[in-house]
Amino acid sequence: MTLALHSYFRSSCSWRVRVALAWKRLEFEYIPVHLLAGGGEQYSDAHRALNPSQQVPVLVVDDGALAQSVAILEYLEERWPAPPLLPRGLVDRARVRQMVEVVNSGTQPLQNLLVMRLLEKEHGLDSASVRRFCQGAITRGLGALEELVWRYGDGFCFGSAPTVADACLVPQLYNARRFAVALDAFPRLLAAEAACMALPAFQVSHPDHQPDTPPD
């Protein structure tokens, strides 16, 4: 099986998948897609053929192209269950997926590049208002996650080992800092992030260390 990841160094959704690939020690080819250069390479015909949503990440496997980071995470978990990124119990797995969705459907979509562009270009918001909108969305999402980690975490988002919830949390905190969101109200999230960042899988997948990371 050969794997190729179409990714952008700073894309939080791509980082989720990079964490899983590294955690499962899977080799892959890194194919950079610059989301800004020339209006965005994600809008090219070649990329649209891979992902009609015109976004990254895309993971190309022997059977074709997979998009949507959470679908990719689920694929990787089912195809290569060890080492795991989901707990064993049925309800526990659902709780982890609940946390994933707090980020994946409840937070990140409200602050992604496309939404920011639409708010500014089609709905007349100035850039400061767009930024405040994104900050509010991130703060609300992280607030919900903080509460869930308080209930179910024990060092990591769920329990005492990393899961796909952590693979979503860490990139979302990275986004939060880019948007200058205050993080003091989220001590459990910051503790889980610190635990994750002590692990090589989170380190090697960090936006600072990708083939398309610009030199300083």
Ligand X SMILES: N[C@@H](CCC(=O)N[C@@H](CS)C(=O)NCC(=O)O)C(=O)O
Instruction: List interacting residues with ligand X (CB under 6 A).
Output: 11-13, 35, 40, 42, 55-57, 68-70, 104, 112-114
CB 207 within 8 A of CB 174: yes
Is residue 2 helix, strand or coil? coil
Least distance (Å) between residue 37 CB and ligand X? 12
Name the amino acid, one letter, at 35: L
131 torsion bin: left (phi>0), alpha (psi -120 to 50), beta (else): alpha
Those residues with Cβ within 8 angstroms of residue 150's Cβ, 6 or more apart along the chain or in another chain: 188
- Which of residues 11 and 156 has its CB atom nearest to ligand X in the complex? 11
Structure-token pair, residue 29: 């080819």
What values do phi and psi take at 31, rounded to 5? -115, 110
- Which of residues 70 and 170 has its CB atom nearest to ligand X in the complex? 70
CA-CA-CA-CA torsion for 51, 207, 197, 203, nearest 10 degrees?
90
Least distance (Å) between residue 160 CB and ligand X? 26
- Which of residues 42 and 210 has its CB atom nearest to ligand X in the complex? 42
Least distance (Å) between residue 155 CB and ligand X? 25
- Using Cβ positions, the residue closest to ligand X within the complex turns out to be 55
Least distance (Å) between residue 114 CB and ligand X? 3
Least distance (Å) between residue 187 CB and ligand X? 26
Calpha distance 216→214 (Å, rounded): 6
- Which of residues 61 and 114 has its CB atom nearest to ligand X in the complex? 114
- Which of residues 70 and 134 has its CB atom nearest to ligand X in the complex? 70
CB 102 within 8 A of CB 47: no
Least distance (Å) between residue 89 CB and ligand X? 25
**Residue 15: Cβ within 10 Å count:** 26
- Which of residues 174 and 191 has its CB atom nearest to ligand X in the complex? 174
